[in-house]
């Protein structure tokens, strides 16, 4: 990072108002999503999955349409909650690292983090209300007939599951409250003690997040297939939703910049966001490869069956092309599309890549949940695309409304404002 001698023209009073074109497209996506969900439900209720049998065929006690609906609700709630909590993590890492470059962009992750309560309520409602559909280990008769589930019952039982969920979501919310109070106080007063409070909060949050995210990944996602386990799964789930969060922050920053907002953001800020997307896409690929190849090479049946259900055409043919599409796009698109330093500054291209990765990393969460919950009766169809469009457009609508209420689109009184304003990096 370097500094320029000229002072950029920064409008410190700029306020965000949702452009009509944004509002129109979000309404279109939201309506389209609701319609597609309705079509998908009607297809399932009309017997579109009847040839696959009943929910008991793949270990669950629910009708195929309910299993598929429940899987979609879990995918959507985890996807949106992940964006919120990892936006807070993005900011916490910045404070802990004493970074200054991102300050001009911080309203975006602050806004996403502020939606944490909505995601928490949605996920709690889905995981508790639909626990009998999502989690085989909640059924006493299934546990009684399965020695492995009996062995895990000390951990996988509903009261302890709910207790862990309350502790995790409650802890995340309390940290969010602490961050929010100090963000507001720093904006209003400029007192340096609030910045130091944020740094202390960041250190505590990162430690709590590392532990709680691991437990959350095991509980909410991995336990949908309670016979399977992976010591890398929590990191894998983090890598997937971390990239999702970076892509949404990047896409939002680019769209706002193209509409004339974020006057304090320059090409170097955009370039750094592109570097984050590029670098952590490679990180995701490394974790994906590590988890897959170690399990496949060891060839232990109690581990390999999880991948077997996803890549063998004679078992679940509908998931095989999605598995490889996810791998190719999540790796090759950012690798080839964002390798050049110059192209990372092309806002339109960066926005396009980020938008594609938002969907393909949603597919990654889909591939974790859907085969485990719905098995042969699941798939990628109208209902799934509808939930993706509805969930993401509703999230962005709420975020835009929160951003409109912010005192200013750019932060005020942050000690690293000047450093961020003059942030400059010229690619070779």
pLDDT at residue number 3: 42
Polymer length of the chain: 428
pLDDT in tens, the chain (428 residues): 444 445 567 877 888 999 999 999 999 999 999 999 999 999 988 875 544 443 334 445 678 899 999 999 999 999 999 999 999 999 999 999 999 999 999 999 999 999 999 999 999 999 999 999 999 999 999 999 999 999 999 999 999 999 999 999 999 999 999 999 999 999 988 899 999 999 999 999 999 999 999 999 999 999 999 999 899 999 999 999 999 999 999 999 999 999 989 988 999 999 999 999 999 999 999 999 999 999 988 888 888 999 999 998 888 899 999 999 999 999 999 999 999 888 999 999 999 999 999 999 999 999 999 999 999 999 999 999 999 999 999 999 999 999 999 888 888 888 998 888 888 877 66
Q: Please, are residues 109 and 91 in contact by the beta-carbon 8 Å criterion?
A: yes
Determine the pLDDT at residue 52. 44
The pLDDT of residue 421 is 87
* Distances, alpha carbon 99 to alpha carbons 91, 104, 186, 243, 272, in Å: 10, 12, 17, 20, 13
Contact in structure between 214 and 234 (CB atoms under 8 Å): yes
Q: Are 12 and 410 in contact (CB under 8 A)?
A: yes
The pLDDT of residue 428 is 61
Predicted pLDDT at 14: 86
- Quick one: pLDDT at residue 57? 42
Dig out the tokens for 192 from the structure: 């340096």
Q: What is the pLDDT of residue 359?
A: 96
Torsion of CA 327, 332, 337, 339, to 10 degrees: 120
Question: Residue 225 half-sphere exposure, CB side, CA atoms within 13 Å?
Answer: 24
Q: What is the 3-state secondary structure (H, E, C) of the chain?
A: CECCCCCCCCCCCCCCCCCHHHHHHHHHHHHHHHHHHHHHHHHHHCCCCHHHCCHHHHCCCCCHHHHHHHHHHHHHHHHHHHHHHHHHHHHHHHHHCCCCHHHHHCHHHHHHHCCHHHHHHHHHHHHHHCHHHHCHHHCHHHHHCCHHHHHHCCCCCHHHHHHHHHHHHHHHHHHHHHHHHHHHHHHHHCCHHHHHHHHHHHHHHHHHHHHHHHHHHHHHHHHHCCCCCCCCHHHHHHHHHHHHHHHHHHHHHHHHHHCCCCCCCCHHHHHHHHHHHHHHHHHHHHHHHHHHHHHHHHCCHHHHHHHHHHHCCCCCCCCHHHHHHHHHHHHHHHHHHCCCCCHHHCHHHHHHHHHHHHHHHHHHHHHHHHHHHCHHHCCCCHHHHHHHHHHHHHHHHHHHHHHHCCCCCCCCCCCCHHHHHCCECCCC
For 8-55, write each residue's pLDDT tens digit.
Answer: 678 778 889 999 999 999 999 999 999 999 999 999 888 755 444 433
Neighbours of 124 (CB within 10 A): 18
Question: Alpha-carbon torsion 102, 108, 112, 113, what sign?
Answer: positive
Mean pLDDT, the chain, integer? 91
Q: How far apart are the first and last CA of the chain?
A: 13
Contact in structure between 108 and 80 (CB atoms under 8 Å): no
Structure token digits, residue 265:
């953001």
Contacts of 104 (CB under 8 A, 6+ apart): 262, 264, 265, 269, 410, 411, 420, 421, 423
Query: And the tokens for 346?
Result: 């092309």
Four-point Cα dihedral 164, 169, 170, 171, nearest 10: 90
**CB 246, CB 315: distance < 8 Å:** no
């Amino acid at each position: 990072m370097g500094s320029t001698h000229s002072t950029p023209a920064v409008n410190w009073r700029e306020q965000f108002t949702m452009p009509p074109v944004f509002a129109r497209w979000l309404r279109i996506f939201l309506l389209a999503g609701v319609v597609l969900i309705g079509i998908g439900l009607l297809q399932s209720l009309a017997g579109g999955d009847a040839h696959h049998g009943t929910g008991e065929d793949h270990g669950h006690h629910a009708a195929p349409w309910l299993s598929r609906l429940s899987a979609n609700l879990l995918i959507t709630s985890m996807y949106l909650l992940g964006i919120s909590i990892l936006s807070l993590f993005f900011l916490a890492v910045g404070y802990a690292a004493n970074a200054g470059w991102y300050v001009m962009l911080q309203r975006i992750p602050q806004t996403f983090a502020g939606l944490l309560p909505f995601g928490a309520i949605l996920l709690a409602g889905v995981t508790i209300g639909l626990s009998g559909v999502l989690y085989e280990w909640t059924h006493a008769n299934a546990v009684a007939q399965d020695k492995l589930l009996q062995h895990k019952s000390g951990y996988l039982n509903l009261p302890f599951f709910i207790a862990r969920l309350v502790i995790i979501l409650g802890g995340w919310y309390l940290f969010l409250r602490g961050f929010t109070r100090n963000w507001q106080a720093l904006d209003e007063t400029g007192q340096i003690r609030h910045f130091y409070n944020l740094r202390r909060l960041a250190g505590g949050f990162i430690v709590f997040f590392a532990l709680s995210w691991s437990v959350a990944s095991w509980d909410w996602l991995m336990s949908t297939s309670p016979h399977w386990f992976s010591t890398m799964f929590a990191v894998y789930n983090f890598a997937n939703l971390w990239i999702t969060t970076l892509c949404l922050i990047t896409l939002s920053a680019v769209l706002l910049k193209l509409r004339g907002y974020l006057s304090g953001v320059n090409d170097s800020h955009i370039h750094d966001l592109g570097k984050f997307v590029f670098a952590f896409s490679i990180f995701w690929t490394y974790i994906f490869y590590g988890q897959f190849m170690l399990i496949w090479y060891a060839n232990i049946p109690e581990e390999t069956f999880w991948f077997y259900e996803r890549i063998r055409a004679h078992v679940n043919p509908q998931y095989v092309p999605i598995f490889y599409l996810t791998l190719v796009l999540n790796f090759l698109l950012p690798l080839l599309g964002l390798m050049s330093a110059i192209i990372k500054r092309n806002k339109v291209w960066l926005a396009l890549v980020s938008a594609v990765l938002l969907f393909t990393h949603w597919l990654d969460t889909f591939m974790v949940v859907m085969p485990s919950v719905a098995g042969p009766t699941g798939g990628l169809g109208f209902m799934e695309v509808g939930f993706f469009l509805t969930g993401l457009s509703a999230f962005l609508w709420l975020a835009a409304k929160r951003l409109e209420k912010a005192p200013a689109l750019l932060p005020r009184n942050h000690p690293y404002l000047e450093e961020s304003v003059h942030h400059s990096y010229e690619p070779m």
